[in-house]
Amino acid sequence: MAQGFRVGAFIFLALLVAGCGAEEKKARASAVAEGYLKAVKDKDLDKAMSFFAKAYFETRSPTGWKADQRLITTRLGPLQSYSLTSWSWRTDFVPPDSGTHVTLEYDVKYAKHSAVESFLLLKPFTRHEYKIMSHSIASEGLLTQPAR
C-alpha cells in the first residue's frame, strides 16, 4: 500500500511539474518557430536551418532542404507574414524523445498563395532550448506547376 502511494505521489508530482508554465512553453516554442519564419522571410536559409534539431537532418541533406525551400518560394512566392492560430503541448517521459513537445500551427501568407504551416518542437529534459523536430506546409500553391 505504501509503495503504491509513493508511486502515485511521484506521478502526481511529475505531472504537476510538467504542467507548470504552459504560457512559457508557448512563448519559448513560438519564439523558435517565428525565428525560423523570420529567417525564411529574410531569405537567410543558413539561419533558418539553425532552428532545427540535428535529428531533422539525419534523413535529409542540408543541400536538399535548401533546394526544397527554393521550390517552395518559386511556387508560393516570398513569405509575407505569419500568425499563430493554434498550439498544444505534452510531456513525454519515454526516451528517446522525453521532454516537452509543443505543436504550433500558423497561417502564413506568401506573395502568391497562403499556407498552413505546422511545427513540432521538442525541449528535451536535458536541454533548455526548443528545436524544430518536424515542419509541414499545406498549400494549394504547392500542388500547381509554376507557369513557364
Q: Which amino acid is at 136?
A: S
Q: What is the pLDDT of residue 126?
A: 87
Q: What residue has cell string 528535451?
A: 124
Q: What is the pLDDT of residue 16?
A: 45
- In this structure, the strands spanning 114-124 and 79-92 are unpaired
The percent of residues above 70 in pLDDT, for the chain, comes to 84
What's the whole-number mean pLDDT along residues 92-107? 91
CB 116 within 8 A of CB 106: yes
Domain 2-142 grouped into CATH 3.10.450.50: yes
Grid coordinates belonging to 13: 508530482
Q: Tell me if the pTM is above 0.85.
A: no
Q: What is the pLDDT of residue 145?
A: 67
Alpha-carbon span 104 to 29, nearest angstrom: 8
Task: Please measure the distance between the N-terminal and C-terminal CA atoms of the chain and give it in whole angstroms.
Answer: 74
pLDDT at 75 over 60: yes
The percent of residues above 90 in pLDDT, for the chain, comes to 72
Q: What is the pLDDT of residue 13?
A: 44
pLDDT confidence band for 79 (50 / 70 / 90): very high
What's the whole-number mean pLDDT along residues 108-137? 95
Number of H helices, E strands in the chain: 4, 4
pLDDT at 29 over 80: yes
Q: What is the dihedral of CA 72, 86, 20, 92, to 10 degrees?
A: -60
